[in-house]
């Protein structure tokens, strides 16, 4: 419901809460979805595995990381 005040300077809106049946709030169970088949999980696992892989950091990358984090160069040597 939308109303305008007598002086026309304010618009007032009232949004009554709609009823929502409890049955519609239950989770949807789909037996066809397999948990391990998600492409996103595979990508996350691959990225997570690469985090622990030690890649060499060149001098320029080390200087940039040092400047960004305000640390010394020894924190970024491997």
pLDDT per residue over 42-71, tens digit each? 555 554 455 555 555 677 777 787 888 888
Q: How many angstroms separate the CA atoms of 18 and 39, rounded?
A: 37
Counting every residue, how long is the chain? 78
pLDDT per residue over 11-20, tens digit each? 999 888 888 8
Return the domain boundaries, the chain. 34-78
Centroid of chain to Cα 62: 28
Kindly report the pTM of this predicted structure.
Answer: 0.27
For the chain, give the mean pLDDT: 73
Say yes or no to pLDDT of 36 above 60: no
């Amino acid at each position: 419901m939308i109303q305008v005040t007598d002086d026309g300077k304010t618009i007032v809106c009232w949004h009554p809460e709609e009823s929502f049946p409890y049955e519609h709030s239950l989770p949807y169970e789909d037996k066809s979805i397999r948990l391990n088949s998600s492409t996103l999980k595979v990508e996350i696992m691959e990225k997570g595995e690469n985090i622990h892989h030690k890649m060499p950091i060149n001098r320029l990358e080390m200087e940039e990381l040092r400047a960004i984090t305000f640390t010394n160069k020894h924190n970024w040597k491997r």
